[in-house]
Amino acid sequence: MCRLPKSIYDLKQTSRQWFSKFSNALTLYGFHQSKCYYSQLTKRSGNSLVALLVYVDDIVITGCDHQAIESLKTFLHTQFKLKDPGQLKYFLGLEITRSQKSIFLSQHHYSFQLLEDAGFLACKPAALPIDPKVCLSLFEGELLADASLHRRLLRAFADADGRSCLDSRKFVTGFCVFLGYSLVSWKAKKQTTLSRSSAEAKYRALASTVSELNFPIV
């Protein structure tokens, strides 16, 4: 935990302020922030490479230079109050185990937790996520008491492009929805109105995506 000004506590910007202070300290130490994934920072010096990944208040440090990693831990300890649990064993649903020759990554515990929450621990594996012979209808069958358990298996991506239509300069928004690794729904459409900024267009794309996830396809 980092000691920050008391005025930012209990505010919506607290996490952003914490990461800003943390990343600034690492930048001064010689780390470079990734352009694709802002929570990833790396430092390279000759043949030495140290990578750091941040998720909220969890930090993963890895690299090929043990001395550089220890120096980084010492620096972070002088700047912030940290707790070092040792070698990485569990992080964001990933289980990490090591042998003398390799490192194994698995989501065994996370997968069983999903099956337990959905009540499918006693079920057998299936090649398809749903029975292809079942015909679903809005007017038949029992409604799910809690649909959030099944919505946790869906992944969605949305974006907006302002350079696709050179004539009207209107943004083209689109989204795609995956069930596991299978694409189940997608859509691309030119906006009927002209957005004043790319942020506004992206929010419109997010709104369409949320509507797609909340309402069934008919």
Q: Give the model's pLDDT for residue 164.
A: 65
d(CA 53, CA 31): 12
Place 13 in a pLDDT band, splitting at 50, 70 and 90: low
**Least reliable range by pLDDT among 48-62, 134-148, 169-183, 198-212:** 134-148
Q: In this structure, is residue 128 part of a structural domain?
A: no
Give residue for tokens 């090929």.
64
Q: How far apart are CA 96 and CA 74, in angstroms?
A: 24
16 in a structural domain = yes
Lowest mean pLDDT among 44-53, 59-68, 82-91: 82-91
Residue 114 falls inside a structural domain: no
Comparing 118 with 7, the larger pLDDT belongs to 118
pLDDT of residue 5: 52
Residue 170 lies in a domain: yes
Rounded to whole angstroms, how far apart are CA atoms 68 and 48? 8
The dihedrals phi and psi of 161, each to the nearest 5 degrees, come to -125, 120
The neighbour count for residue 191, using CB atoms within 10 Å, is 19
Q: Is the pLDDT of residue 14 over 80?
A: no
Q: Is residue 93 part of a domain?
A: no
Instruction: For residue 35, give both structure tokens.
Output: 């352009």
3-state helix, strand, coil in the chain (%, to 5): 30, 25, 45
**pLDDT > 50? residue 42:** yes
pLDDT at residue 155 tops 80: yes
Please say if the pLDDT value at position 4 is more than 70: no
Mutual orientation of helices 66-79 and 14-29 as an angle, nearest 10°? 130
DSSP 82: -
The residue-averaged pLDDT of 138-151 equals 75
- Asked if residue 71 belongs to a domain, the reply is yes
pLDDT score of 132 = 76
Mean pLDDT of the chain: 79
Does residue 210 sit within a domain?
A: yes
Which of 52, 86, 120 is the endpoint of a domain?
86
Residue 32 or residue 2, greater confidence: 32
- How many Å from the N-terminal Cα to the C-terminal Cα in the chain? 49
| 217, pLDDT greater than 70 | no
Q: Structural domain of residue 70, as residue ranges? A: 6-86
> How many structural domains are present in the chain?
2
Query: Which among 111, 106, 79 has a CA at the least distance from the CA of 95?
Result: 106
Model's pTM, two decimal places?
0.51
Asked if residues 132 and 185 have their Cβ atoms less than 8 Å apart, the reply is no
Reading the block at residue 48, the tokens are 């030495």
**Full DSSP string of 176-187:** EEEETTEEEEEE
Q: Does residue 129 form part of some domain?
A: no
Task: Give the Cα separation of 192 and 169 in Å (integer).
Answer: 11
